[in-house]
Amino acid sequence: MDYKAIARRFRPKTFSEVTGQDSIITTLRNAVLQKKASHAYLFTGIRGTGKTSVARIFAKALNCEALTKEGEPCNSCPSCIEIMEGRSLDFIEIDGASNRGIDDIRNLNETLGYRAIKGRYKIYLIDEVHMLTKEAFNALLKSLEEPPANVKFFFATTEPNKVLPTIVSRCQRFDLTRIANHAIINKLRSIAKELEIDVEDEAFATIARLSEGSLRDAESLFDQLSCLEARPITSSLILDTLGFVSRNDFFLLDEAFRDEDLTFAFTFAGKLFSSGKDITYFLENLIEHYRNLMLIHLRHLRIEDAFLSEEEKKGYSSSQAIYERGHLIHILDYLSDLIHQSTRPTYKRVHLEMILLHLLQTRKRISLEALLQKITTLEGKGAMVHPLEKPISVPIAIVEPAMEKLPEKILETVIEKRVPPSVRHDTILRFAQVEFGGTIKKN
Ligand SMILES: [Zn+2]
């Protein structure tokens, strides 16, 4: 089986087989049933969301000789069969990437005059339409302005912002959304059933997560996995195959953070290196892990709603209690700096050890927010006369190294030196920096 076999074999043939995009499908179906199709359509969306599949089904429905009462193409009349076999003279698919010049569009314009077979529309689908040159767009625009009767244009693109606005404004536009994980999971489940491949539930969720809303990516990945001999297909098999680290390893890292177990940095780096996993991938996964913890912390993500196995849910609920918000901000900031460095280093084992050590030592840092909170609490106990600035107005910053007694020490110094309240904020920062040998990082 070649690489794209599954995506091709399970390509939707009717509107009802399309995964996701419900409102778009309803609109198109109604246009077919009410015979009110516009003369130009623009389908946009990331790769693998079904743009050309939807356009093909729409074309079949418009030209079908035995349309069902639901507005579905019959898939058995001559027109449907010709379109499915790619030999229809009334449905012309053009790859905008390889036919992008003005001559290509001129050739197309010349064919517009030839009538479609009686009762049918002549439909042009230009995929990757954003690749057309400016001259080609202008030539196309002429045809769009005065479309011959019974001619329809379908355009598909991943980059609608690169399509000439005058073209866009003449189209009915449909933005196909990323496909929801549950819809991808359902589709994969039905494919696995039909192909009689044994797959664990958790593995479907992992594939869906990795494909980020692109059904085609999910299908290609599934195709790749189904060629392996191992059965059933499990989540850890997927992660292993792709060089990903399992979430459980991240939960172990969280525990090491809690226990301030610095030796973990060395054992873990050793394990990662000997398994030959891609370190850049690992770092991206690590960011995702901390991002999840942050979302949980901000109550933006409810663990019970996340697409996670029971074991992973347990892992996240223990891990989220380990970190304070300041820790997470610092770690995410640090990791995204690493990832976005303009020259990506080839990570050596020692780099990875240092990265992990840095993460583990974040626990020893104290956020300025937390610091000021502590000082405010002390003030409440009558230690100071003037109230401090509200912690909420303070930029998020990290003071390091943290010391157990730091707030009290700063407070003592502030009182002792009789610093006026207005400069207290800066003073705190300066004292933390100078008196205690720390560094301050403002975000
Ligand atoms: Zn038909």
Neighbours of ion ligand 1 (CB under 5 A): 64, 73-74, 77, 80
pLDDT of residue 411: 54
Residue 261 has pLDDT above 60, yes or no: yes
What's the chain's average pLDDT?
A: 81
User: Which range, 4-13, 240-249, 400-409, has the best average confidence (pLDDT)?
Assistant: 4-13
Residue 257 has pLDDT above 70, yes or no: yes
Question: What separation in Å is there between the alpha carbon of 384 and the centre of ligand 1?
Answer: 83
pLDDT of residue 82: 94
pLDDT of residue 433: 52
Q: Find, among 224, 359, 211, the residue nearest to 283 by Cα.
A: 359
pLDDT of residue 99: 87
3-state SS, residue 310: helix
Question: How far apart, in whole angstroms, are the C-alpha atoms of residue 220 and residue 28?
Answer: 28
Q: Find, among 269, 233, 439, the residue nearest to 353 by Cα.
A: 269
User: Which range, 214-223, 277-286, 400-409, has the best average confidence (pLDDT)?
Assistant: 214-223
- Give whole-number Cα distances, 67 to 90, 116, 124, in Å: 17, 18, 20
Give residue 280's pLDDT band: very low, low, confident or very high (50, 70, 90): confident
pLDDT tens digits, residue range 343-357?
656 777 888 888 898
Question: What separation in Å is there between the alpha carbon of 83 and the centre of ligand 1?
Answer: 9
Q: Supply 383's token pair.
A: 């230690």
pLDDT tens digits, residue range 305-321?
766 677 888 899 999 99
Residue 390 has pLDDT above 60, yes or no: no
Question: How far apart, in whole angstroms, are the C-alpha atoms of residue 375 and residue 397?
Answer: 15
pLDDT of residue 22: 93
Residue 440 has pLDDT above 80, yes or no: no
Question: What separation in Å is there between the alpha carbon of 68 and the centre of ligand 1?
Answer: 9
Question: What separation in Å is there between the alpha carbon of 426 and the centre of ligand 1?
Answer: 75
Contact 45, 65 (CB under 8 A): no
Residue 25 has pLDDT above 50, yes or no: yes
Residue 283 has pLDDT above 60, yes or no: yes
Tell the burial category of 208 from Cβ atoms under 10 Å away from its Cβ (0-12, 13-18, 19+): buried
For 75-89, 167-181, 243-257, which range has the lowest pLDDT when averaged over its residues? 243-257
Question: How far apart, in whole angstroms, are the C-alpha atoms of residue 313 and residue 305?
Answer: 10
